[in-house]
């Protein structure tokens, strides 16, 4: 039997190294669509292949699984924030952000568990698929729970469309609906739904404010050598947030009180001091 040629062995080794590098959880990829902002306890990617860590980039066609008393928050390129609670399975099918047109297009699938979606003000064409129906999103905030063929949905702001075997129906701000076997009913939220959303809040914190996407986008603050120190993001209510390079809230300016506060609410001083904070001055 002929022995493998050294050049072929080196080529095979190089290919194997490339495959291993691309499969590492922290490896950067061109198709990354979001960043993991917060992880609590047992959160796995790749169909339970590895543990998801904070600050890890998230590619499309990725499957996220969470364990008991666990959860994770992901921030997309347009500043949309998606959180999943315990015992959930979420698949990111594909998300594409057009910074020029300020638009996000994509889809995800929630097989089980609960999630919280807080969209930025960027234009959206996003769908969330479940076994019980499909949700169409055009820019909104809502919470969702899926348990087999049961779908429960509550809209916190804006509106969504729900297709569950018939013509799409519109769910508006403040409304709760449940769907089972194609039958959609409006009414008060169920105890199971409230418990699932309470677990997300308890584990991951309250829902963030919707991030505004202005004509110029978030303002990037850089040091004298051109390195990014963070960004300033204007919110719909007029508040301005200072976020570090991992998109974590550092401080905010409240125009109603004309004062700057740290993320924990501690007052820093009068006026807008956010750029000074990011530069390490306060």
pLDDT tens for each residue of 158-184:
889 999 877 889 999 889 999 988 889
Q: What percent of the chain has pLDDT over 90?
A: 42
Q: What's residue 20's pLDDT? A: 38
Q: In this structure, what token pair is assigned to residue 151? A: 């779908």
Contacts of 83 (CB under 8 A, 6+ apart): 71, 72, 73, 74, 115, 116, 200, 204, 207
The larger pLDDT score, comparing residue 267 to residue 234, is at 267
Alpha-carbon distance 9 to 14, whole Å?
Answer: 9
Tell whether the model's pLDDT for residue 24 goes beyond 70. Answer: no
Q: Which of 69-78, 196-205, 228-237 has the lowest mean pLDDT?
A: 228-237
- Tell me: the pLDDT tens digits for 49-58? 899 998 888 8
Q: What's residue 198's pLDDT? A: 93
Decide: 162 and 130 in contact? Cβ < 8 Å: no
Tell whether the model's pLDDT for residue 38 goes beyond 90. Answer: yes
Q: Is 129 exposed, middle or buried (0-12, 13-18, 19+ CB in 10 A)?
A: middle
Q: What's residue 238's pLDDT? A: 64
Q: What's residue 33's pLDDT? A: 77
Alpha-carbon distance 251 to 87, whole Å?
Answer: 33
SS3 content of the chain, % helix, strand, coil (to 5): 15, 45, 40
Contacts of 156 (CB under 8 A, 6+ apart): 140, 141, 142, 143, 173, 174, 207
Q: What's residue 192's pLDDT? A: 94
Tell whether the model's pLDDT for residue 4 goes beyond 80. Answer: no
Alpha-carbon distance 282 to 265, whole Å?
Answer: 15
- Tell me: the pLDDT tens digits for 80-100? 899 999 999 999 988 887 766
CA neighbor of 114 nearest in space, from 139, 81, 142: 142
CA atoms within 13 A of residue 219's CA, in its CB half-sphere: 11
What is the residue-averaged pLDDT of the chain? Answer: 82
Q: In this structure, what token pair is assigned to residue 103? A: 């638009």
- H helix or E strand, kind and range, residue 198: helix 191-204
**193, β-bridge pairs:** none
In terms of DSSP bridges, do strands 103-118 and 141-147 run parallel, antiparallel, or are they unpaired? antiparallel
CA neighbor of 73 nearest in space, from 113, 40, 111: 40
Decide: 269 and 261 in contact? Cβ < 8 Å: no
Alpha-carbon distance 151 to 164, whole Å?
Answer: 9
The larger pLDDT score, comparing residue 174 to residue 31, is at 174
Structure pTM? 0.66
The larger pLDDT score, comparing residue 223 to residue 116, is at 116
Cα–Cα distances in angstroms (integers) from residue 14 to residues 2, 3, 7, 20, 21, in the given order: 22, 19, 11, 10, 10
- Tell me: the pLDDT tens digits for 96-148? 877 666 778 889 999 999 999 998 888 888 999 999 999 998 778 999 999 99
């Amino acid at each position: 039997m002929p022995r493998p040629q050294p050049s072929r062995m080196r080529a095979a080794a190089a290919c194997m190294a490339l495959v291993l590098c691309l499969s590492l959880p922290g490896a950067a990829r061109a198709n990354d669509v979001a960043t993991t902002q917060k992880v609590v306890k047992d959160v796995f990617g790749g169909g339970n292949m590895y543990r998801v860590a904070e600050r890890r980039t998230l590619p499309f066609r990725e499957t996220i699984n969470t364990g008991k008393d666990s959860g994770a928050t992901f921030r997309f390129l347009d500043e949309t924030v998606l959180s999943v609670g315990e015992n959930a399975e979420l698949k990111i099918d594909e998300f594409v952000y057009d910074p020029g047109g300020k638009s996000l297009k994509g889809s995800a699938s929630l097989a089980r568990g609960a999630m919280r979606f807080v969209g930025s003000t960027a234009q959206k064409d996003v769908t969330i698929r479940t076994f019980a129906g499909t949700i169409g999103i055009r820019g909104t905030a809502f919470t969702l729970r899926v348990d087999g063929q049961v779908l429960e949905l509550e809209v916190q702001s804006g509106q969504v469309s729900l297709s569950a075997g018939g013509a799409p129906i519109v769910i508006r701000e403040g409304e709760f609906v449940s769907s089972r076997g194609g039958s959609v009913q409006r009414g008060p939220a169920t105890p199971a739904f409230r418990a699932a959303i309470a677990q997300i809040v308890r584990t991951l914190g309250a829902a963030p404010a919707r991030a505004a996407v202005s004509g110029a986008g978030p303002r990037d603050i850089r040091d004298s050598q051109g390195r990014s120190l963070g960004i300033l993001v204007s919110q719909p209510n007029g508040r301005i947030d200072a976020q570090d390079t991992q998109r974590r809230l550092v401080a905010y300016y409240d125009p109603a009180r004309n004062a700057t506060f740290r993320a924990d609410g501690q007052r820093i001083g009068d006026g807008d001091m956010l750029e000074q904070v990011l530069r390490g001055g306060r």
